[in-house]
């Protein structure tokens, strides 16, 4: 059994290799890639079935790589391991995960024992395993007061890219007024209206992006990928 590790931090990569050797005696080979693109190539070439994937990488992030890999081989088992429990990652993964595939999401701060457990559960047993921290994050989104719906999230992404209302409306196929309604509820849910100083006037658009970044509702990797999607859409529009 071959395992592919996609990880751009050498220290974390070494630690992971170590844990892999301990946890998976049935493993015959470890292949290492240092960014998403190289990881994709390796997965294609080696017909890999088990992957450990970092999410935050320079050239191409883990979610995009996973999407490409899964679209070719949906039965591939992928354990994501990441520094942060970012809501943006969760949404990204939820959107691309194929039916009946095995995946997991574990934080880098998890203990070695928990990491080894996750490695066995996902890569060998084909289970789905999500870190407690991340589960907690999902729970906190059950309240309709604070939960950001997918349709709102899409508008948030476009806002963050700097699109104007009219263009968002066109891209997401809604009326101008509907876009503005979504923005309204986003401002509400992100706490744009300045908790303390009620009377303090802010630029709501920028503030929304600011809050979304701090609450880790979105992050730079996700925006980077979204920008590429936008470019594609723009090119196809004309």
Partner DNA sequence: AGAGGTGTTGCGGGTTCCCGCAACCAGTTT
Partner DNA sequence: AAACTGGTTGCGGGAACCCGCAACACCTCT
Q: How far apart are CA 54 and CA 56, in angstroms?
A: 6
Binding site for DNA (CB under 7 A): 149, 151, 164-166, 174-178, 180-184, 187, 201, 203-205
Q: Which does 178 bind (CB under 5 to 8 A by kind): a second copy, DNA, none?
A: DNA
Least CB distance from residue 94 to DNA, whole Å?
A: 19
Site for a second copy in 175-214 (CB under 8 A): 192, 197, 200-207, 209-210, 213-214
Q: How far apart are CA 23 and CA 30, in angstroms?
A: 13
By the rule CB under 8 A, 12 interacts with a second copy? yes
| Binding range to a second copy, per CB under 8 A, among 35-43, 125-133, 171-179, 216-224 | 216-224
The partner in contact with residue 200, picked from DNA, a second copy, none with C-beta cut-offs of 5 to 8 angstroms by kind, is a second copy
Q: C-beta of 81: minimal distance to DNA in Å?
A: 35
Rule CB under 8 A: say whether 173 interacts with a second copy: no
For residues 224 and 58, give the distance between their C-alpha atoms in angstroms, rounded to a whole number.
10
Identify which of residues 76 and 217 has a Cβ nearer to a second copy in the complex: 217
Reported as type and span, the H/E element at residue 81 is strand 77-82
User: What is the strand order of the sheet 129-130 is part of?
Assistant: 29-33, 2-6, 50-54, 77-82, 103-107, 129-130
Six-digit token string for 115: 């990491």
Binding site partner of 175, from DNA, a second copy, none, Cβ cut-off 5-8 A by kind: DNA
> At residue 213, what are phi and psi to the nearest 5 degrees?
-70, -40
Q: Which residue has the tokens 């088990």?
A: 50
* Neighbour tally for 114: CB within 10 Å: 15
Q: Which residues bind a second copy (CB under 8 A)?
A: 11-12, 15, 159-164, 166-167, 192, 197, 200-207, 209-210, 213-214, 220, 223-224, 234
């Amino acid at each position: 059994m071959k395992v592919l590790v996609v990880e751009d931090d050498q220290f974390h990569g070494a630690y992971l290799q170590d844990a892999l050797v301990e946890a998976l005696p049935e493993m015959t080979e470890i292949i290492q890639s240092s960014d998403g693109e190289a990881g994709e190539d390796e997965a294609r070439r080696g017909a890999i079935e088990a992957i450990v994937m970092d999410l935050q990488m320079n050239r191409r992030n883990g979610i995009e790589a996973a999407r490409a890999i899964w679209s070719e081989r949906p039965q591939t088992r992928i354990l994501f391991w990441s520094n942060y429990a970012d809501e943006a990652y969760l949404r990204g993964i939820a959107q691309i995960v194929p039916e009946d595939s095995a995946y997991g999401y574990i934080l880098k701060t998890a203990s070695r024992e928990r990491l080894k457990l996750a490695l066995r559960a996902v890569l060998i047993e084909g289970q789905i395993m999500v870190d407690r921290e991340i589960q907690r994050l999902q729970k906190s989104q059950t309240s309709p007061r604070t939960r950001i719906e997918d349709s709102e999230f899409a508008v948030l992404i476009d806002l963050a890219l700097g699109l104007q209302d009219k263009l968002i409306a066109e891209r997401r196929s809604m009326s101008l007024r509907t876009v503005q309604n979504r923005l309204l509820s986003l401002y509400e849910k992100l706490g744009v209206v300045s908790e303390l100083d009620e009377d303090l006037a802010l630029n709501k658009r920028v503030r929304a992006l600011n809050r979304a970044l701090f609450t880790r509702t979105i992050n730079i990797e996700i925006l980077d990928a979204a920008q590429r999607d936008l470019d594609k859409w723009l090119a196809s529009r004309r």
